[in-house]
């Protein structure tokens, strides 16, 4: 039986955006796994940017400073942009299937919107002086799930 390990520093593992970022990494690895040797550098870069994405979310959370947390979430957005750009190029060069591209792009779109909502929420908390660790996890998941809903419903929920 797997032991459950909990501590304050691992709270990022409760975030839906972090879990989906792990899924994005696994998807990137799966898609690039069988590439020929001459594409190994490109595959390695794709995997590295997907890996950097989830790691920046975790590192920002663990910094325990809202300023640094937001900064690392912006780094994560940069890594996600790098991953999306790579997949657009892979599809244009016919290196990946349309199905793999659509699956990746849908998840990346969800992650980007969720992460932007998280940053907006944290910036509001920072500006209002309303920062507590327990609220971050709960609100983050609410904000993230709202980013996947209809735009008008999202606007009403976040108002």
What is the spatial distance between Cα 159 and Cα 144, in angstroms, rounded to a whole number? 15
Residue 132 lies in a domain: yes
Work out how many domains the chain is built from and give that number.
1
Q: Hey, is 131 helix, strand or coil?
A: coil
Comparing C-alpha atoms, which of 10, 111, 128 is closest to residue 66? Answer: 128
Residue 137 lies in a domain: yes
What is the spatial distance between Cα 47 and Cα 31, in angstroms, rounded to a whole number? 10
From its phi and psi, is residue 64 left (phi > 0), alpha (psi between -120 and 50) or beta? Answer: left
Residue 3 lies in a domain: no
21-51 confidence digits (pLDDT tens): 999 999 999 999 999 999 999 999 999 999 9
49-86 confidence digits (pLDDT tens): 999 999 999 999 998 789 999 999 999 999 999 999 99
Range of the domain at 27: 13-158
Residue 129 lies in a domain: yes
What is the spatial distance between Cα 65 and Cα 10, in angstroms, rounded to a whole number? 15
Any idea what the CATH number is for the domain that residue 28 is in?
A: 1.20.1440.60
Cα dihedral angle (150, 137, 29, 4), rounded to 10 degrees?
Answer: -130
100-120 confidence digits (pLDDT tens): 999 999 999 999 999 999 999
| DSSP code at position 4 | P
Supply the pLDDT for residue 64.
Answer: 76
Supply the pLDDT for residue 139.
Answer: 44
Residue 21 lies in a domain: yes
Residue 6 lies in a domain: no
Residue 5 lies in a domain: no
Percentage above 90 pLDDT, the chain: 62
Residue 50 lies in a domain: yes
In the predicted model, is pLDDT for residue 134 greater than 90?
no
User: Are residues 115 and 77 in contact, defined by beta-carbon separation less than 8 angstroms?
Assistant: yes
Supply the pLDDT for residue 129.
Answer: 79
Supply the pLDDT for residue 81.
Answer: 97
């Amino acid at each position: 039986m797997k032991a459950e390990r909990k501590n304050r520093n691992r709270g990022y593992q409760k975030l839906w955006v972090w879990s989906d970022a792990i899924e994005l990494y696994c998807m990137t690895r799966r898609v690039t796994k069988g590439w020929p040797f001459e594409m190994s550098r490109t595959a390695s870069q794709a995997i590295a940017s997907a890996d950097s994405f989830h790691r920046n979310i975790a590192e920002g959370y663990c910094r325990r400073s809202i300023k640094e947390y937001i900064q690392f979430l912006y780094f994560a957005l940069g890594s996600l942009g790098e991953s999306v750009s790579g997949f657009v190029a892979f599809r244009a060069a016919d290196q990946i299937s349309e199905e793999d591209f659509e699956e990746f792009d849908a998840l990346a779109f969800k992650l980007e919107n969720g992460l932007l909502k998280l940053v907006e929420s944290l910036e509001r908390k920072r500006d209002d002086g309303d920062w507590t660790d327990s609220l971050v996890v709960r609100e983050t998941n609410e904000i993230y799930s709202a980013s996947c809903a209809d735009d008008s419903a999202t606007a009403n929920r976040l108002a």
